[in-house]
Amino acid sequence: MDSIQNVLKDYSYQKPDSMQVLKEYILKTYKFEPKLSINRSNIVIQVKSASLASNLRLNLPNIKSELNITEKLTILIV
């Protein structure tokens, strides 16, 4: 029986490509570097201003289709 430490030692987590593409797109388009996190099939975009969040929210369908993102996108104002 393997211990958790042995199992996790060989595990290498890599962020999905969609997260990196999304981060670069937001940086280029909105001149803001967001904090992104992922859980299951949901990408959470953390932004600091409500105006940026509302602008992103209006453009989410276009962003998903342009970048071929299949995960659900959620915006969080922090």
Domains of the chain and any CATH numbers: 15-77 (3.30.70.2210)
What pLDDT shows up at residue 17?
83
Residue 46 sits at φ, ψ, to 5 deg, of -100, 125
The pLDDT of residue 1 is: 60
pLDDT of residue 22: 94
Which of 55, 14, 10 minimizes the C-alpha distance to 34? 55
**Cross-strand bridge partners of residue 43:** 38, 73
pLDDT values of the chain reduced to their tens digit, one per residue, 78 residues: 677 787 777 777 677 788 899 999 999 999 999 999 988 889 999 999 999 999 999 999 999 999 999 999 999 999
